[in-house]
Structure 1
Amino acid sequence: MLKAMTLSTSKVRLEPLSQAHLSQLQQVGQAEELWRWVPSRYCQSQEVLQTWFEQTAQFDPQEQVVFAIIDAQTNQVAGNTRIFRLDTHNLQAEIGHTFIGLDWQRSHINTHAKYLLLQHAFETLGLVRIEFQTHEQNHKSRSAVARLGAHFEGIHLKNRKLPDGGFRNTARFSIIDDMWPDIKQRLESWL
């Protein structure tokens, strides 16, 4: 089971997403370009965000925990991320549904957030595999995942139906426990 807890480095805090984060999260999520590759634009209004928070972000705490990404220097919400699809039998989960506000993109935020999530997954939860998925055409996201050291596993064709009725091809990456010590060392050198 995923336990909601705060994870932190000197520059980033991941706090379990709460009602108190929603106002800042909604403001950070206003930029259209953040949602180009995401089927659900849940920050479009306070009402939509509240519904998403109640129905999606709080979905089954045995399988997921959603975090607000906090810039420790400013104490501002910079976006959100999650560990989800926890499979306790096969000791694996997915990290994703991450969005980071434009003001924090290409900064330290994503590196610190992913480091914290990976460290928690491998060292606290004892998982052996973490998966990342993104739209095949989302090259920015694919580059960010590859930069972490994740292994590209391939393109899964038409594996997700989109709101417009079309289908998305998904680029899938993974990091396994055997890879974690080297990836951890590299990430820590960047922190």
Structure 2
Amino acid sequence: MTQPPAAALCQAVSLTGRHARLEPLSPAHEAGLQDAARDGELWKLWYTTVPHPEGMAAEIQRRLGLQDKASMLPFTVFDDQGRIAGMTSFMNIDDAQRRVEIGSTWYAARVQRSALNTECKLMLLQHAFEQLDCIAVEFRTHRLNTASRRAIERLGAQLDGVLRSHLRMPDGTLRDTAVYSITAPEWPTVKTHLQWQLVKPR
């Protein structure tokens, strides 16, 4: 594959599947994102950094500011009914090494444990490997966020290691960060696995 220009890693794009749609994050999505965040009150989970509804406008601007600096490509997640269901992003974009992280992801409680997350990850990974020619895609989460770690492992990502005392959380505690990745040679197998996850009987 011919390597795309570095700027392509930060170029806004829409991705559409059967269960979900990813659109470039916009301030116009604020009200829908506030409603999604209220569904499950996810900001109350101490080991995550889901924005409070009252802080959603600031979070949108933070992510768009990182996009302006070419370090993040943020998306709003829509469900199959066209309702806003959460946020996700390409982040920690490394143009030189063709690496990205999929992260800063959260979903309304109503779509959790549904096909939506699997399809979102499939679309993002497919774009990263097949359009952006990435050599690896990372996933990072709190070492103690067992639900998130199980979800990442179900995608087919492998644990690279744990960064101890890596980040300070909003409540002042130190986060050990579990780092996972999928590499380009692994992608065809992971893609087949994710496609099966979407069609297998539930």
Same topology, TM > 0.5:
yes
1:65 corresponds in structure 2 to 73
2:113 to 85, 95, 106: 106
Which structure: greater helix fraction? 2
Please tell me whether the aligned partners of residues 34 and 99 of structure 1 are also in contact (alpha carbons under 8 angstroms). Answer: no
2:168 to 149, 161, 165: 161
Contact 2:63 2:74 survives alignment (8 Å): no
What is the aligned partner in structure 2 of residue 10 from structure 1?
18
| Preserved contact between residue 35 and residue 53 of structure 2 (Cα < 8 Å) | no
From the superposition, tell whether residues 101 and 165 of structure 1 become closer, same or farther in structure 2 (CA, over 3 Å). same
The 2-side partners of 1:93 and 1:157 are apart by 21
The match for 2:100 among 84, 93, 97 is: 93
1:82-115 C-alpha deviation (Å, 9 max, x unpaired): 0011101111010011101100000011000000
How many residues get paired?
Answer: 187
Greater alpha carbon shift after TM alignment, 12-21 vs 171-180:
12-21
Call closer, same or farther: CA 1:146–1:114 in 2, change over 3 Å.
Answer: same
- Tell me by how many angstroms 1:20 deviates: 2.2
Distance 1:143 1:87 in 2: 26
Whole-Å separation in 2 of the counterparts to 1:33 and 1:87: 29
Q: Which runs of 5+ in 2 are unaligned?
A: 1-6
Task: Please tell me the root mean square deviation across aligned C-alpha atoms, in Å.
Answer: 1.4
Cα distance change, pair 35–8 in 1 and its aligned pair in 2 (3 A): farther
Percent of aligned positions that are identical? 34
Q: Which moved more, 1:21-30 or 1:176-185?
A: 21-30
